[in-house]
Amino acid sequence: MVFLPDESRSLPPPPLVNKGSIWLGFTGWVAAMLDNGFNHRPVIRSGVHRQILFATVGWFVGYYLVKRMEYIHAKQDRELFEYVRHHPEDFKAAGI
């Protein structure tokens, strides 16, 4: 899979309720509300199924974006620690 490589499966999954999921779920819900408003329909009462769908899709996308972000940060950490391990002369402890 292009979005998340197989090596990302070794990481613990992010919590279901995280900042990315909440924000993108809210953004999806607001997008459905704006669609109702632009099409001159009652903003909250019309298209409740679309509001739920957009919020769910936003939540799903937010979850996987957070998962990808955690994978990228873990990969960078691994590369940095590997560099430090191979070049100890560049990272001597400061003498007190």
Enclosing domain of residue 59: 16-86
Residue 1 lies in a domain: no
What does residue 39 show for φ and ψ, rounded to 5 degrees? Answer: -95, 15
Residue 94 lies in a domain: no
Tens of pLDDT along the chain (96 residues) come to 467 888 888 899 999 999 999 999 999 999 999 999 999 999 999 999 999 999 999 999 999 999 999 999 999 999 999 999 999 888 887 765
Domain count along the chain: 1
Q: What is the pLDDT of residue 95?
A: 62
What does residue 12 show for φ and ψ, rounded to 5 degrees? Answer: -70, 145
Tell whether pTM > 0.75: yes
Residue 3 lies in a domain: no
Residue 93 lies in a domain: no
Q: Is 83 exposed, middle or buried (0-12, 13-18, 19+ CB in 10 A)?
A: exposed
